[in-house]
Amino acid sequence: MAEHVVLFTGPMGAGKTAAIASLSDIDPVRTEAANTDRVTADKATTTVALDYGEITIGPDEKVRLYGIPGQTRFEFMWKVLMRRAVGMILLVNNDNPDPIGQMLYFIDYFHELYERGGAVVAISRSDVGLGPTREEYYSALAAARPGLSIPIFSVDARSPEQMKIALFSLILNIESRAAVPSRYEEPRQ
């Protein structure tokens, strides 16, 4: 059975935990703690170590879904989780004070995952806060990091259907890159 490991990244409150819960076939492993930083994200809990879920997407293909804790204080976990993954779903909440800055920050930090397999951006919570449009994200990305090919989706992280579209497009990208090896060398663990 082919297995892929995908990492969900993005700032606090973007919907990483929600997205993994939407997608996972198994009861996800969560490490939620009571959230005392209600200013950054007004929600009851926040992830302090990782999220883990699994989804089978075909007769012989399993995807392992890992999520990071979004707060930069947990950056040591980001490094641990990055090692396992071959691709990234970067969630950005559109009600974030600096959504485009956050998008670029996580693309840069997890650039290795883009190189290794691919990345997609999923903009969440557009119904909550009026942030940039998808076109504005695309032009900001093209201007700041020319040459990167990263699809941008608009999603509700709570919707399995919408999250599946983003995940499947990432998996297809990972597979097509694997089938046609580029000049890029797979990093050894």
Partner 1 sequence: MTTALHHNKDVVARGGVLLTELDSICTSFLYAVLVTDDGFEVASVSGSDHERLASMVSSLQALAEGVAEELKIGTSEYVVLATEDGHVIQLRIPRQQLVLSAVFNKSETLGKVLSASKSTAEQIAVMVETSK
Ligand X SMILES: Nc1nc2c(ncn2[C@@H]2O[C@H](COP(=O)(O)OP(=O)(O)OP(=O)(O)O)[C@@H](O)[C@H]2O)c(=O)[nH]1
Exactly one of 5, 8, 17, 117 binds Mg ion (CB under 5 A); which one?
A: 17
Q: How far apart are CA 76 and CA 85, in angstroms?
A: 15
Using the rule CB under 8 A, which residue among 29, 57, 104, 144 binds partner 1? 29
49 contacts partner 1 (rule: CB under 8 A): yes
- Tell me how far apart the alpha carbons of residues 56 and 5 are, in angstroms, rounded to a whole number: 12
Radius of gyration of the chain (CA): 16
Report the C-alpha gap between 2 and 176 in whole angstroms.
Answer: 14
Instruction: State whether residue 151 is helix, strand or coil.
Output: coil
- Is residue 16 within 8 Å of residue 43, measured between CB atoms? no
Distance, CA of 92 to CA of 125 (rounded, Å):
8
Whose Cβ is closer to ligand X: residue 124's or residue 173's?
124
53 binds, among ligand X, partner 1, Mg ion, none (CB under 5 to 8 A by kind): none
CB of 47 to partner 1, least distance (A): 8
* Element spanning 54, H or E: strand 51-56
User: Of 5, 19, 23, 77, which one interacts with partner 1 (CB under 8 A)?
Assistant: 77
Taking CB under 8 A as the binding criterion, the range among 67-75, 89-97, 115-123, 160-168 that sits at the site for partner 1 is 67-75
Site string for partner 1, 150-189 (x = CB under 8 A): ----------------------------------------
